[in-house]
Structure 1
């Protein structure tokens, strides 16, 4: 009997991983900014109801279609993967924001304090380089924030699926708010 559970667990895990690969493709981070202008979910960020537009998003509709007919155990495993992914994104965003914002700003403040005139002259003489560095320092955290937003969006879609299936949360971790 224990062997049957292990085989079932392996099958469910394999199915969950296969679904995860297909599901995450529906939520690319690179187009998050563009979708902020035309999706029903983006337009739904006014007023009280943040869910109706979210439910009508193309990615949400496609996720529902992908998960139609998936058994509860596989869905629970997929949901656990999505929640773990979101928690890891949260950890990485904290580290990136801390590093990208504190280290460069600390160096700039220290340099300005010790050699303010020299720093201003350098920035004037190398304005293109300064703009490129500033853009890089800004775009790094922004790219991680986009990934974090998408990871949370996947969890939200899975929550909607779970609600519409009438399925209770699998673990207390899924209910946890940070």
Structure 2
């Protein structure tokens, strides 16, 4: 569904989201300035020094304001959808299995423990799936939030660059 009118917008969105891969969230949380900046009161300076933020700034620096606003709107929409999906996944993958297991334990008691003991590998696999699946979605949602935060940071900087007098409250 390529729209020629929104071609530049969608191209920028594709390039931007590639800067924030979900797969490297955990490793990068040990070495990026943003992750290391989660100590103290200032969580913004580290975010600004992240390689992904610097690359996003480079990608969007020459983009006009309406296109930048369009990319930011796509990021906001993406985050809203990520939030919806994460809530569903948490409800489905965590609440339902835990409730079902508690109900079965109440009904079958020691028989359930015997079943789990006899099928330990299957039980461990089911618990791992029920745990790791939501973790993957949570990581994706974290990255979606990070994109929105980076765009907000860049928007603030764009406002400062575009009109220092207006940013200071001087309309003239």
Q: So what's the TM-score if we normalise by structure 1?
A: 0.86
The answer for the alignment partner of 2:85 in structure 1 is 92
Are 1:161 and 2:158 matched, yes or no? no
2: CA distance between counterparts of 1:151 and 1:94? 15
**CA-to-aligned-CA distance 1:89-134 (integer Å, 9 cap, x gap):** 0111111111111110111011100111111011111111111110
Consecutive unaligned residues of structure 1, counting only runs of 5 or more, are 1-8, 168-178
2: CA distance between counterparts of 1:127 and 1:62? 47
Let me know the Cα RMSD of the aligned residues: 1.3
The answer for the alignment partner of 2:63 in structure 1 is 70
* DSSP-derived class of the 2:109 partner: helix
Q: So what's the TM-score if we normalise by structure 2?
A: 0.89
Are 1:27 and 2:17 matched, yes or no? no
Q: Pick from 26, 39, 51: which aligns with 1:46?
A: 39
**CA-to-aligned-CA distance 1:111-168 (integer Å, 9 cap, x gap):** 100111111011111111111110000011101101100000000010011010007x
1: CA distance between counterparts of 2:96 and 2:42? 39
Aligned length: 158
2: CA distance between counterparts of 1:131 and 1:42? 31
Q: CA deviation at 1:68?
A: 1.4
Consecutive unaligned residues of structure 2, counting only runs of 5 or more, are 161-172
